[in-house]
């Protein structure tokens, strides 16, 4: 290695760009490389999200239909078969709560949980979540368990 081989590490040197709007002699005076007129030449310009240069934006071109209920509550569905799996694995003994489901990756902590009736439950569990289907509630109680709404 010699002095003529030395150079700074990649990313260590930041070359400043050409200074804009500092007189005609700089080569970037006058319009300061913004061209003449139009929105992009003005100070304070910022392109809005989805702006397509005056063309009708995609979000407005696409047909809309149906109804979107803003008050809809989304529930995370968990089948009885999954609860039986937890019992078979030994992760759950008598009680299933929202915390238990979060620990086992079946729900997230902010989810609303609904127990669905698919699968078979043999263990008598005390299940406390937000909602149950009628068939799930009947199956839990038939197995000697308890269904508690939060």
Give the pLDDT score at 63: 95
Render pLDDT for 39-48 as a digit per residue (tens, 0 to 9): 899 999 998 9
Backbone angles phi, psi at 24, to 5 degrees: -65, -30
Q: Give the global pTM.
A: 0.59
Integer Rg of the chain from CA: 32
| Sequence spans of domains, the chain | 76-149
Distance, in Å, from the CA atom of 138 to the CA atom of 130, rounded to the nearest integer, reads 16
Domain 76-149 bears CATH identifier 3.40.50.970: no
Q: Where are the beta strands (DSSP E) in the chain?
A: 75-79, 95-96, 112-116, 126-129, 131-132, 146-149
Render pLDDT for 101-118 as a digit per residue (tens, 0 to 9): 999 999 999 999 999 999
Give the pLDDT score at 79: 94
pLDDT band at 5; cut points 50, 70, 90:
very high
Backbone angles phi, psi at 129, to 5 degrees: -135, -170
pLDDT at 17 over 90: no
Q: End-to-end CA distance of the chain, in Å?
A: 72
Backbone angles phi, psi at 56, to 5 degrees: -60, 120
Give the pLDDT score at 15: 86
pLDDT at 148 over 90: yes
Q: What mean pLDDT do residues 88-95 have?
A: 89
């Amino acid at each position: 290695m010699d002095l003529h081989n030395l150079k700074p590490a990649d990313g260590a040197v930041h070359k400043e760009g050409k200074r804009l709007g500092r007189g005609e002699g700089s080569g970037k005076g006058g319009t300061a490389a913004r061209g003449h007129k139009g929105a992009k030449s003005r100070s304070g310009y910022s392109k809005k999200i989805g702006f397509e240069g005056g063309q009708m934006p995609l979000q407005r071109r696409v047909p809309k239909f149906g109804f979107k209920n803003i008050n809809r509550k989304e529930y995370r569905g968990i089948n009885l078969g999954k609860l039986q799996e937890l019992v078979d694995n030994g992760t759950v003994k008598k009680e299933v709560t929202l915390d238990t489901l979060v620990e086992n990756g079946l729900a997230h902590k902010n989810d609303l949980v609904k127990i669905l009736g698919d699968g078979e439950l043999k263990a008598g569990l005390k299940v406390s979540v937000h909602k149950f289907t009628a068939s799930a509630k009947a199956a839990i109680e038939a197995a000697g368990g308890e269904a508690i709404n939060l």
